[in-house]
Structure 1
Amino acid sequence: MEQWFKQKWFQWMLILLVTILWGYSWILMKDALQYMGPFTFSALRFVTGAAAMLLIVWLLRAGRPPRSALPHLIVVGILQTSVVFILVMYALKFIDAGKSSLLLYSMPLWSGLLAAIFLRERISKLRWGGVGLGIVGLLIVMGADALSQQSKDVIIGELLIILAAVSWGASNVYYRLKLSDLPKLQVNAYQMLFGTIAIALVSWIAEGGEPVVWTPESVYYVLFTGVLASAFCFTIWFMLLGHLDMIGATMPSLLVPVFGLFFGWLLLGEVLTVSVVVGSALILSGVFLANIKREH
Structure 2
Amino acid sequence: MDRARLWGVAFLLVTAVGWALNWPTIKFLLAVWPALFSRGVAGVTAACLLGLLAVSRGESLHVPRRLWPRLGMAAFTSVFAWMGFATVSLNLISVAEAALLVYSMPVWAMLLAWPLRGERPGARALVALALAVAGVALLLSGQKSLAGRDQMLGVGLALAAAVLFAWGTVANPKPLPLPPLAQTAWVVGVGCAPMIVLGLLFEHPQLGALTGAAAASLVYMTLVPMGVCYLSWFAALRRLPSGIATITMLLVPLLGTLSAAAILGDPFGLREGGALALTLGGVALALRGLSAPARERASDPDGA
- Given that 1:50 and 1:192 are in contact with CA atoms closer than 8 Å, whether structure 2 keeps it comes out as yes
Q: Distance in 2 between matches of 1:182 and 1:124?
A: 34
| CA deviation after TM superposition for structure 1 residue 116, in Å | 3.5
| Deviation, structure 1 residue 286 | 0.4
Provide the rounded CA distance (Å) in 1 between the counterparts of 2:226 and 2:18: 10
User: What's 2:184 paired with?
Assistant: 188
Residue in structure 1 matched with residue 86 of structure 2 by the alignment: 88
Aligned to 1:172: 169
Distance 2:271 2:147 in 1: 13
Residue in 1 that maps onto 2:299:
none
Paired with 2:290 and 2:98, the residues of 1 have a C-alpha distance of: 31
137 and 67 in structure 1: CA distance in 2 versus 1, 3 angstrom threshold: same
Structure 1 residue 180: deviation in Å?
Answer: 4.1
Aligned residue pairs, count: 290
Could you state the TM-score of these two structures normalised by the residue count of structure 2?
0.86
Q: Residues 104 and 54 (structure 1 numbering): CA distance in 2 closer, same or farther, change over 3 Å?
A: same
| Separation (CA, whole Å) in 2 of partners of 1:160 and 1:54 | 30
Flag the 1:238–1:206 CA change in 2: closer, same or farther, 3 A. same
The residue aligned with 1:104 is 102
CA distance in 2, matches of 1:49, 1:288: 30
Contact 1:26 1:98 in 2 (8 A): no
Cα distance in 1 between the residues matched to 2:215 and 2:290: 46
Contact kept, 8 Å, 1:250 with 1:288, in 2: the verdict is: no
- Aligned pairs for 1:136-147 within 5 A: 136-145=134-143
Q: Does 1:201 align with 2:197?
A: yes
1:44 partner amino acid: V
**SS at structure 2 position matched to 1:292:** helix
Amino acid at match of 1:269: G
Letter in 2 for 1:221: S
Q: In the alignment, which of 195, 210, 215 is matched to residue 214 of structure 1? A: 210
Are residues 1:255 and 2:255 paired? no
Instruction: Give SS of 1:272's match.
Output: coil
2:157 maps to which residue? 160
**Matching of residue 229 in structure 1 with residue 230 in structure 2:** no
Contact 1:26 1:260 (8 Å CA) reproduced: yes
For 1:157 and 1:61, the matched residues in 2 are separated by 42
Aligned to 1:37: 34
- In the TM superposition, residue 197 of structure 1 has moved relative to its aligned partner by 1.6
CA separation of 1:274 and 1:62: change in aligned 2, threshold 3 A: same
CA distance in 2 between partners of 1:233 and 1:212 (Å): 29
Deviation track 1:28-66 (CA, whole Å, cap 9, x = no partner) reads 100001221111211211122111221222122221222
Q: What's 2:114 paired with?
A: 116
Unmatched runs of 5 consecutive residues or more in structure 2: 292-304
Structure 1 equivalent of residue 11 of structure 2: 14
C-alpha contact (below 8 Å) 1:39/1:90 kept by paired residues: yes
The secondary structure found in structure 2 opposite 1:7 is helix
1:94-120 Cα offsets, whole Å, 9 max, x none, are 222233222211121112222333233
Equivalent pair of 1:42/1:89 in contact (CA under 8 Å): yes
Q: In the alignment, which of 263, 266, 281 is matched to residue 267 of structure 1?
A: 263
The reply to whether residue 48 of structure 1 matches residue 45 of structure 2 is yes
Q: Which residue does the alignment assign to 1:280?
A: 276
Between 18-27 and 228-237, the greater mean CA deviation after superposition: 228-237
Equivalent pair of 1:127/1:292 in contact (CA under 8 Å) = no
- TM-score normalized by the length of structure 1: 0.88
Seen in structure 2, the aligned counterparts of structure 1 residues 39 and 151 have a Cα distance that, compared at 3 Å, is same
| 2:42–2:218 contact (8 Å) kept in structure 1 | yes
Aligned-pair RMSD on alpha carbons? 2.5
The amino acid that maps onto 1:109 is V
- After superposing the two structures, state which structure 1 stretch, 198-207 or 283-292, moved more: 198-207
Cα distance in 1 for partners of 2:257, 2:239 equals 29
Q: Structure 1 residues 55, 119: closer, same or farther in 2, change over 3 A?
A: farther
Counterpart Cα distance in 1 of 2:155 and 2:179: 34
- The DSSP-based 3-state class of the residue aligned with 1:41 is helix
Measure, in 2, the Cα distance between the counterparts of 1:190 and 1:84.
16
**Compared CA separation, residues 114 and 62, structure 1 to 2 (3 A):** farther
Amino acid at match of 2:51: L
